[in-house]
Amino acid sequence: MKVTCIAIDDEPLALKQMSAYIKQTPFLELVAACQSAFEAMEILRNKAVQLLFIDINMPDLNGMEFVKSLTDRPYIIFTTAYSEYAIEGFEVNASDYLLKPISFPRFLKAADKVKNLIDLTASNRPEDLKATADYLFVKSDYN
């Protein structure tokens, strides 16, 4: 299963690099590359997206304000040159925080973390749980 994502960055070179990283990653599917939060907002109205790679420092509506405005949030990975927003990023439940310049191994580690979270969530849906045995293990102290 592919993880659908959007890359959002007002800097064309950073957006191009992020898009290239996403395309190199077999389990990611780039739905759109946006240069503003407003452009991404329009995409999110029409498509279900699981992950946002988003810059924080953007004109008009910055990435943090945009994420806070979302009612049904996808997973978030902030991509920024500013470390001072990290705590605020995790306060909005960001999955990861990548500091520019971003290396591909670090990008892959963050993307893999989100894929594992999505896989874990999908495997724990009640309709997917099946009874496999007529017994139950109970752990009490060391027994």
**For 3-24, what is the mean pLDDT?**
97
Residue 141 reports pLDDT greater than 90: no
Q: What is the mean pLDDT of the chain?
A: 90
Q: Which residue ranges form the domains of the chain, and what is each CATH number? A: 3-124 (3.40.50.2300)
Please give the share of the chain, as a percent, with pLDDT higher than 90: 73
* Residue 54 contacts residue 8 (beta carbons within 8 Å): yes
The predicted pLDDT at position 135 comes to 66
| Beta-bridge mates of residue 20 | none
The predicted pLDDT at position 33 comes to 97
The predicted pLDDT at position 5 comes to 97
* Residue 35 contacts residue 9 (beta carbons within 8 Å): yes
**Residue 6: CB partners within 8 Å, gap ≥ 6?**
30, 31, 32, 33, 34, 40, 43, 44, 49, 51, 52, 53, 54
**Apex CA 119: angle with CA 102 and CA 67, to 5°?**
50
